[in-house]
Amino acid sequence: MRPIAVSRTVDAPRERVFEYLVDVANHAEFSDHYLSDFRLERLDSTGVGASASWRMDFPLARTWGDAAIVEADRPHLIVLEGRSGRIGRVQTRAEYRLVASDHGMTRVDYRFETHPRTGADRFKEALGMRAWLRHKVRRGLARMARALEQGTASSHAVRPAAG
């Protein structure tokens, strides 16, 4: 899938936005409108190595996915890599770039891309997943911004995966 890119300006300092996003447990708080069954894959949900899994209910297909933070360059970059789809055959990559803006604000530039291996996976994505996902991500970033700006941002009670 061609990359999805969405930006949002948050009325919060870049360091605070970074601290919020580098904890994957917080991602359930602003993405639960399209990701469900969100579970931490390890007890420490912060920083490089922190990971989570979830189910995404795209209107034409349900799929499981996971992602782990592979890079956290304080205070401006967080990179997550993972897999989704049947037996995890679709590679995914997500980036949050945080740019300090005027008056203590932060611009969050989010980029997401997939690399499907099979024709069936490419076909599913061609059925409108890109537009649907862009809409969901845009809404998620708006929810994240609102939580940070109103001071209501906090981790959901996300349980670690059994293992």
pLDDT at position 160: 41
Which parts of the chain have pLDDT scores under 50?
Answer: 156-163
Domain ranges of the chain: 4-150
Q: Which CATH number fits domain 4-150: 3.40.190.10, 3.30.530.20, 3.40.50.150, 3.40.109.10?
A: 3.30.530.20
Q: What is the pLDDT of residues 86-95, one digit of tens each?
A: 888 899 999 9
Q: What is the pLDDT of residues 4-40, one digit of tens each?
A: 999 999 999 999 999 999 999 999 999 999 999 999 9
Nearest partner of 17 among 97, 102, 135, 103, judged by Cα: 97
Task: State the pTM of this model.
Answer: 0.89
115 vs 79: CA distance, rounded Å: 16
Residues 125 and 84 sit within 8 Å (Cβ to Cβ) = no
Q: What are phi and psi of 15, to 5 degrees?
A: -65, -40
Which residues is 48 bridged to in the sheet?
none
